[in-house]
Homo-oligomer: A and B are copies of this chain.
């Protein structure tokens, strides 16, 4: 940490800062410049947080130097991690050596629609099935998902296709029941800072797909992952799904830079969701290609056998030629960036 003193700070104020730092076992290095004095702190950063340094007299600013997360940091775990999803015999890797394609309907509506979507996805090369049973919706009057019935449909579809299932959980109270049916818990963009839910997912131990809050910085997102990790669950996959900006042409702006930045600072895998970023079907394939080429460890997209009748996010679901284009990209681009298709690494025993 570095403390910047105000131009007119007195000797007493500088000494008071030094004393506070030393009182918790830290060291303070004072550098007096022409206009300002800066104080570098060395020691245990958590102890400094309790000092409330910004509130001390004469302090103009406090710059944090180290990353605030630990368990998810690449500094403490230099090798990038692989998270395995699914039951024994159908475990799918998500990590630095493979490329994983996850697809399925935004919302589970009927057994038939879910199976059909899963088969479309599988034919295009997907190895993990996504599908929503609990849907967080901006309007209390919109379709909120089938709940438990949806979970059962997902489990049946896994039975039929062999694809592990990832599905969203929106309330800490639902974590046990969702874990009973699903192979991976999705925590959505609106719940990224729902700390009670993060902790419940951390305690459950099931792998977690943690979407970025639509207005979260990368650092805040990694802190949310830290909440899960701190409860003992390090099987966390991050998912970039677009951030809120001033640009109205897309629902959100896919922050493609997040892929290399996360990979440089955290050991956790990161995938990209082009469907929810764009909100428009015609952008899904170009954005998925961009994500793959930027080095993402996977993509997750919406597919639906009949987008026109979808109860949720129909305008962004892929069918037909778009899905074929995406399948081609998933096969052809990953080898150019040093990866194999996750389907080839599937643990079938």
Contacts and interface: CB of A to CB of B under 8 A. Distances in A.
Interface of A: 2, 4, 7, 29, 31-36, 38, 40-43, 46, 49-50, 52, 54-56, 61, 63, 65-66, 68, 75, 136-143, 170-173, 190-191, 193-196, 199, 213-215, 217-220, 223, 226-227, 230, 243-250, 253-261, 264, 277-278, 282-283, 286-287, 289-295, 307-311, 314-315, 317, 329, 332-333, 336-337
A31 B41 CA distance: 8
Nearest to A289: B293
A337 B141 CA distance: 37
Given A215-B246, A287-B294, 18 more contacts: A2-B63, A33-B40, A40-B40, A52-B307, A56-B308, A140-B226, A140-B227, A173-B196, A190-B195, A215-B244, A217-B246, A217-B248, A245-B246, A246-B246, A253-B253, A260-B287, A289-B294, A332-B336
A299 B61 CA distance: 27
Contacts of A291: 290
25 contacts: A33-B43, A49-B141, A52-B308, A52-B315, A55-B310, A55-B315, A63-B63, A138-B220, A139-B223, A172-B172, A173-B196, A190-B193, A215-B215, A215-B246, A245-B245, A245-B246, A249-B257, A253-B253, A253-B257, A257-B286, A257-B287, A289-B337, A290-B291, A290-B294, A293-B333
A336 B7 CA distance: 31
Contacts of A315: 52, 54-55
Nearest to A42: B33
Contacts of A143: 50
A143 B243 CA distance: 28
A63 to B, nearest CB: 5
Given A249-B217, A249-B261, A315-B54, A49 B256 contact: no
Nearest to A30: B29
Looking at A56, A246, A287, the one whose CB has the most chain B CB atoms below 10 A away is: A246
Nearest to A220: B138
A227 to B, nearest CB: 5
A107 to B, nearest CB: 12
B191 A194 contact: yes
A175 to B, nearest CB: 12
A191 B196 CA distance: 11
B257 A278 contact: yes
A219 to B, nearest CB: 7
Contact of A264 (B38, B136, B282, B314): B282
Contacts of A52: 307-310, 314-315
Contacts of A310: 52, 55
Looking at A171, A256, A337, the one whose CB has the most chain B CB atoms below 10 A away is: A256
A223 B7 CA distance: 20
Nearest to A44: B34
